Amino acid sequence: MQGHYLELYADHLGDTIIYKLDPRVKLICAITAIIAVLFTPHWQIAMLFLASTLIAVAIYKIPLRLFMRRMLYPTYIIAVISAIQPFTYGATLIYKTPLFSLPIYLEGLHFSFLIFTRCMAAIAVLNLLVITTPVMDIMRALAWFRVPSVLLDTALLMFRYIFVLSDEAERIHRAQEARCGYSQKLSYLRRLRNFGTLFGVLLVRSYERAVKVGNAMISRGYKGERLFVLKEAGIPLRHVLYGVVIFTAIILLILIEWILL
């Protein structure tokens, strides 16, 4: 098993309020923050959210390595998207690249930075939510907000089988490596092809497993209705108050931004 990377939350947080806060409150606050961040026209506001998240990470001693590692893959995608912007948008030319003489525009550059900070802040908020909340709690909260059960069932099955699949991928990869499947003597294309085979095999095995899991479900009387019953108890008043405070703070920030900036 691949352990901590796929282990989706830091469950040592124990008694801290960020861990114990009702998941519904966390979800509402996180979604409000993400929406606020994604629509802000000012990179400073996005940076403010990003900084607040990092402060929370520091205060609650969330393993920074885990936090950063989980930020890594989305950052790649955002970086690529942001990097294209300066070439595609704007009127004020500031530079032309010597190679291919590509134009770089000032407005594009600004926009690129804005997109980058917005996305990073949004992902940091989401990351904080996921790291401090067990998956089942998030799912229960989503069910409470009437998210269709088919989406939640699918998400929970994915959560269950991502570990099985990653184990399977690791076993196949090891089996290939053991017979020199990724030897440096092989051409890059050959190694790439072996990697492709891994995914092909994984796909076939996933299909086979899906059939078996389906059979096992049928044998326990499953007839196609919802898979999981997710119920949530009442929200403690104190948590609602925390939620109201955070929610109001975000809304106030947006209002101040509209009026002053």
Would you tell me which residues interact with another protein (CB under 8 A)?
1, 135-136, 139, 156-157, 159-161, 163-164, 209, 212-213, 215-223, 227-229
CB of 226 to another protein, least distance (A): 9
Q: Which is nearer to another protein, 124 or 139 (CB)?
A: 139
Closest approach of Cβ 164 to another protein, in Å?
5
Name the minimum Å distance from CB 123 to another protein.
24
Give strand ranges (E) for the chain: 93-96, 103-105
| 89 contact partners, CB below 8 Å, separation of at least 6 | 105, 107, 108, 111
Q: How far is CA 202 from CA 38, 66, 190, 206, in A?
A: 36, 27, 18, 6
Residues 6+ apart with CB under 8 A from 169: 198, 202
Smaller CB distance to another protein: residue 221 or 234? 221
Q: Which is nearer to another protein, 114 or 131 (CB)?
A: 131
Percentages of the chain per state (helix, strand, coil), in multiples of 5: 70, 5, 25
CB of 2 to another protein, least distance (A): 10
Q: How far is the CB of 180 from another protein (least distance, A)?
A: 27
Q: Nearest distance from residue 24's CB to another protein, in Å?
A: 18
Q: Nearer Cβ to another protein, position 50 or 230?
A: 230
**Residue 168 vs 257, nearer CB to another protein:** 168
Reading the block at residue 67, the tokens are 């936090």
155 C-beta neighbours (distance < 10 Å), count: 16
Residue among 98 and 221 whose Cβ is closer to another protein: 221
Measured in whole angstroms, the distance separating CA 118 from the mean position of its chain's CA atoms is 14
User: Measured from the CB of residue 50, what is the shortest distance to another protein in angstroms?
Assistant: 31
Pairing status of strand 103-105 against strand 93-96: antiparallel
User: Of 118 and 140, which CB lies nearer to another protein in the complex structure?
Assistant: 140
- CB-based burial of residue 215 (10 Å sphere; 0-12 exposed, 13-18 middle, 19+ buried)? exposed
Output the CA–CA distances (angstroms, integers) from residue 163 to 3, 98, 133, 167, 194, in the order listed: 9, 48, 18, 6, 22
